[in-house]
Homo-oligomer: A and B are copies of this chain.
């Protein structure tokens, strides 16, 4: 009920605070007999760590995942898969000055209101370090999806005011990873990098958007009423730190179109029923239709600034929050593997949910 779990059949439960002993989780319900390629999983985890280049935070968080159970002779056994990442570079003293402060647009105030007690070290449980566990579990899910012909690619669509206009559903993952900001457009990549440097120098921060494309999903995934496939994808994305918006297919633009423009015409091609356009984003009535699934996620700018801000302490007295510590200017490039991981968790779960009825 406190809901540190995600998924119905392939179910991840996570634990850990940013400056505690470790971050980790348990995956319950992974199909048995899956080859658990630990190099792939570690590589996925490396994609989200900071310090990958000069554009991201300089903390030396080299996160190594360790598996504790559920794997025998490299195969999953059907037993729960526990894993953890030990916190090495934690410096709780960096946060002592925040003990009694409520940082603007952080979770300090609401945690205090909710729990009465608060682990103030680096955001505690509210830190984005929690997403480490999602990336590990998402990588396990990806191994299964890959075997079933499903691929997931996310990329940076916009940073601040700089945005791609046209999205190619057949995007190549190598062009994404080749970009320092994970934007497949090389020109835009350059502008984004400049913008990040300028913003960093100003002590300010940036938000942006990530798009995600899932190919190879068979028709029939998703439940028709409350657990529509895009509703579950939406919840998954909105559960990521700093996300403020989600749209599937045509999204908010679709709300301005006429029905005659928006409808996706069915045709037969090579013996298969497909649609000529894909404003539906691969999902109709909450159920995948076999086309590419496409969605878009909006992230607010990071709340921790390298400048002084006015705020209050827990007695309500006015105080100044100093800008210090090691922080990203823009989290969006690092969030790309997190978006993919959450998408993978939703898709594998709905594959297993559907399979339950196939007799």
| Most B-side CB within 10 Å, residue of A25, A239, A318 | A239
- Which residues does chain B contribute within 8 Å of A119, judged by CB atoms? 72, 77, 79
Interface 0/1 of A72-87, CB less than 8 Å to B: 1101111111101000
Quick check: is A354 within 8 A (CB to CB) of the other chain?
A: yes
- Which residues does chain B contribute within 8 Å of A44, judged by CB atoms? none
- Distance, CA A205 to CA B241, complexed state (A): 37
- Which residues does chain B contribute within 8 Å of A124, judged by CB atoms? 72, 77, 79
Quick check: is A220 within 8 A (CB to CB) of the other chain?
A: yes
- Distance, CA A204 to CA B263, complexed state (A): 11
- Which residues does chain B contribute within 8 Å of A258, judged by CB atoms? 160, 199, 204-206, 301
- Which residues does chain B contribute within 8 Å of A29, judged by CB atoms? 1-2, 356-357
- Which residues does chain B contribute within 8 Å of A9, judged by CB atoms? 1-2, 356
Asked whether, in the complex, the Cβ of B77 is within 8 Å of the Cβ of A207, the reply is: no
Asked whether, in the complex, the Cβ of A113 is within 8 Å of the Cβ of B219, the reply is: yes
Asked whether, in the complex, the Cβ of B111 is within 8 Å of the Cβ of A287, the reply is: yes
Interface 0/1 of A11-45, CB less than 8 Å to B: 10111110011111110110111000000000000
- Distance, CA A238 to CA B234, complexed state (A): 7
Asked whether, in the complex, the Cβ of B248 is within 8 Å of the Cβ of A77, the reply is: no
Asked whether, in the complex, the Cβ of A247 is within 8 Å of the Cβ of B244, the reply is: yes
Quick check: is A57 within 8 A (CB to CB) of the other chain?
A: no
- Which residues does chain B contribute within 8 Å of A16, judged by CB atoms? 68-69, 82
Minimal beta-carbon separation of A73 from chain B (angstroms): 8
Asked whether, in the complex, the Cβ of B107 is within 8 Å of the Cβ of A287, the reply is: yes
- Which residues does chain B contribute within 8 Å of A187, judged by CB atoms? none
Asked whether, in the complex, the Cβ of A267 is within 8 Å of the Cβ of B301, the reply is: no
Known: A117-B33, A227-B3, A284-B110. Is A15-B259 also a contact (CB below 8 A)? no
| Most B-side CB within 10 Å, residue of A113, A256, A268, A280 | A256
A82-125 at interface with B (beta carbon < 8 Å): 82, 84, 102, 104-107, 109-111, 113-119, 124-125
Quick check: is A262 within 8 A (CB to CB) of the other chain?
A: yes
